[in-house]
Amino acid sequence: RLGAGGMGQVYVARSDRGRTVAVKLVRPELAGQDEFRERFRQEVAAARRVGGRWTAPVLDADTEAAVPWVATGYVAGPTLARIIEHDHGPLPERSVRVLAAGLAHALQDIHTAGLVHRDLKPSNVLVTVDGPRVIDFGIARALETLTEGGLTRAGALVGSPGFMSPEQVRGDRVTAAADVFCLGSVLAYACTGALPFAVAGSGSHAMMFRIAQEEPDLTGIPEGLSTLVRDCLHKDPRQRPTPLQVVERTQILGDDDRENWLPGGLVAQLGRRAGELLEIGAEVDAGPTHCPPVWPGDPALDPPDVPPEWSTTPAGPDMVPLRRPRLSLGLAAAALAVALGAGASIVALMTGEEDTPAGVVPSGFLGTWNTSTDNGIDNSTGHPTRQLTIRQGKVGEGILTLTADGRTAGDTYHCVSVAALAERPTSGTLLRIAASRVTVAEPSSACAPEPASTLTLRENGELERATEGNGEKLTYGKES
């Protein structure tokens, strides 16, 4: 057992193929509520589409079990909260730049899948030698549906007081820009070890008031990062940078820039713990035994009464003690070399495979595309806008996210839908996209799935989207 939180308990387990995973079991009182379970189904389905380069990928789930569960890739690393509070203290500027780029990449992947994280905080960021990983994306949103037991539809428990956006504090509509605000708070914390809206001696309610009404305290943040952090913490969501703009402003260009991104002493500590991980557990044929958590979590997530024994839950997947790997000294040394920055991935070592799938989408399509205001859309009702985000992927995978915002009959609407690649492209300028599925509908009556469509790259650099069935054609310009 790794710990417990607002949704349930988390265990480290190993699949029958030897893959190490983290398994989250939903609390029975939540599973018994139909509205929660339906939202949980939707969020798990959406979270499956998020890639594993910067996150812990969703591997399997059973949303219909008596005790619903979801399994994600296990990331061998401590939380950023533990790094700052216990293991090292505030990180140097270069480390925070790589942290910012990695978290922004993760948010871009999450948003492209039609999700908003809503709870980006240091305890949801895992630190490895080849960059940060974001966990618990999307799933927490299921808690918003509850109205019993002190939870409200405004999402009282969706978000943490020190790392919430003004929209969350006020109960306004939460968009992807809220995650960027939370990113700014995380970066400020990584630089200084302090919350940008906290004041000594004041409580969480006072801090949330300052988040909504006052400017952040950026004392101690290096000059090269202070402007970026301040822009992320802008009260107006429209004035915050996008995740891709955050990546550009960090000036982290590629894998070479991420090498040795952590201070030497911290890297050595990660190496020692990676070596310990290889020795955890019992012999192959041993029964359940005393196994301490692989990586100590945060006190808020690990209550004092957490039992040391491994548990078995009949309604969930089979969970067994981690078995001692039968490794040669050479392989153990190689694992230590990985932890010390030899260029391989700890995640790949622990899961047995890389989580970045090959894709077939031509590079010219990748990125974010926006319509112009005179692009054949009826602007008389409030200048609606459409945005396409196209990511790498294979046939059958969700590669396109369509976001539509506008006003009709006096009410605003916000719709997000995701569509899969219908067939392997035969040229670099044409893609066929399957019918979409709505993932966000506010209000639900204003949003409907989009029919199948064809995307064409024009010679002038524009993207044309032709919708099958209704003959609609719209042109999109690439977002700079």
pLDDT interval class at 108 (50, 70, 90):
very high
**Which residues are within 8 A (CB) of 364 and not within 5 positions of it... i.e. 6 or more apart?**
428, 429, 457
Judge whether 194 and 122 are in contact, CB under 8 Å. no
* Short-list 192, 356, 188, 343, CA closest to 261: 343
Q: What is the pLDDT of residue 140?
A: 55
- CB atoms under 10 Å from CB of 269, counted, come to 17
Looking from the CA of 352 toward its CB, the CA atoms found within 13 Å total: 9
Q: What is the pLDDT of residue 447?
A: 85
State pLDDT tens for residues 293-319: 333 333 333 333 322 222 222 233 333
Helix axes 223-232, 243-250, angle to 10 degrees: 180
Place of tokens 């980006």: 120
Counting residues of the chain whose pLDDT is more than 90, the rounded percentage is 29
Instruction: Summarize the chain as % helix, strand, coil (round to 5).
Output: 35, 20, 45
With 70 as the cut, is the pLDDT of residue 277 above it?
no
Q: What is the pLDDT of residue 463?
A: 93
Domains 92-121+159-261 and 363-478 share a fold: no
Tell me the three state secondary structure of residue 433. strand
Q: What is the pLDDT of residue 342?
A: 36
Average pLDDT of span 438-459: 85
With 50 as the cut, is the pLDDT of residue 331 above it?
no
Q: What is the pLDDT of residue 232?
A: 97
With 90 as the cut, is the pLDDT of residue 14 above it?
no
pLDDT interval class at 99 (50, 70, 90):
very high
Per-chain mean pLDDT for the chain? 75
Counting residues of the chain whose pLDDT is more than 70, the rounded percentage is 72
Catalytic positions, written as ranges: 119
Lowest mean pLDDT among 53-62, 122-131, 433-442: 433-442
Domain limits, the chain: 92-121+159-261, 363-478
Q: What is the pLDDT of residue 348?
A: 34
Between 189 and 324, residue with greater pLDDT: 189
State pLDDT tens for residues 149-205: 333 333 333 557 788 999 988 888 888 999 999 999 999 999 999 999 987 767 788
pLDDT interval class at 61 (50, 70, 90):
very high
Burial class (CB in 10 A: 0-12, 13-18, 19+), 373: exposed
Q: What is the DSSP string of 207-237?
A: HHHHHHHS----TT--HHHHHHHHHHT-SSG
In sign, the C-alpha dihedral spanning 357, 2, 180, 224 is: negative
Candidates 2.40.128, 2.40.50, 1.10.3470, 1.20.120; CATH matching 363-478:
2.40.128
Judge whether 39 and 141 are in contact, CB under 8 Å. yes
**Which residues are within 8 A (CB) of 325 and not within 5 positions of it... i.e. 6 or more apart?**
278
Candidates 2.30.30.60, 3.40.190.290, 1.10.510.10, 3.40.50.2300; CATH matching 92-121+159-261:
1.10.510.10
Burial class (CB in 10 A: 0-12, 13-18, 19+), 285: exposed
> How many residues in the chain?
480
How far apart, in whole angstroms, are the C-alpha atoms of residue 200 and residue 207? Answer: 10
Residue 388 pairs in a beta bridge with 369, 402
pLDDT interval class at 412 (50, 70, 90):
confident
Judge whether 133 and 54 are in contact, CB under 8 Å. yes
Looking from the CA of 187 toward its CB, the CA atoms found within 13 Å total: 34
Q: What is the pLDDT of residue 243?
A: 94
Kindly provide the b/e burial profile for residues 317-326, where b requires at least 16 CB atoms within 10 angstroms of the residue's own CB. Answer: bebbbbeebe
Does pTM surpass 0.85? no
State pLDDT tens for residues 208-251: 899 999 999 999 999 999 999 999 999 999 999 999 999 999 98
Lowest mean pLDDT among 301-305, 329-333, 401-405: 301-305
Lowest mean pLDDT among 93-97, 116-120, 210-214, 256-260: 256-260
pLDDT interval class at 53 (50, 70, 90):
confident
Residue 401 pairs in a beta bridge with 389, 418
How far apart, in whole angstroms, are the C-alpha atoms of residue 321 and residue 291? Answer: 8
Highest mean pLDDT among 26-40, 128-142, 267-281, 308-322: 26-40
